[in-house]
Amino acid sequence: MLYKAKGLETAITEIEEYYNQNKTDMKHIRCAFGKWLLVFCLMSFTGHIYAKQRYYCEVKGIEKELSSGLKIIFDFGTKASYNMWGDLSSKLKFVNENGEEIKFNSMVDAANYMVQRGWIFQQAYSSAYGGKPIIHWIFFKDADNIEEAKEGIMTKAEYQKTEKQ
């Protein structure tokens, strides 16, 4: 009988030791999980702070008055699309690094130019202004700022501004 009691005491002691050991392990597990959760939340929050912004460009095409083809301009929303005569502004045409106008054969040619610079086609529609049909193609690009979005692209107005400086 004494042997059984001693065995029972040993069993109880072992159970208490096991419980205390696992209790400490559970504290470590909870602490590790808490740290992991905190890091995950901070990473998620940081990702939203540094998320890129979406920028849009509207490519507009209108038939030329005295010749065949389209007059194509690029509207980033920073300048008025129409001049005081109600015509699409030539200042929104693209130029190369020498300030020479880049001629586009068609809206598809202009779209290829945009896609090569990382812009993504979103939508197309048509409208009329002053009795003339206008083709509108909308593109977007995700970037940290407008300068990054427009990298490799310069309008006539922007070129003229850099020439004055």
Q: Using one digit for the tens of pLDDT, what is the confidence trace for 38-96?
A: 666 566 665 555 678 999 999 989 887 777 778 888 888 876 555 444 455 566 778 88
Question: Residues in the chain, how many?
Answer: 165
pTM as predicted: 0.62
DSSP state of 117: T
Q: How confident is the model at residue 163 (pLDDT cuts 50, 70, 90)?
A: confident
What is residue 29's three-state secondary structure? helix
Structure tokens at 128: 């009329």
Does the structure show a pLDDT above 60 at 5? no
Structure tokens at 149: 């979005």
Residue bearing the bigger pLDDT, 83 or 114: 114
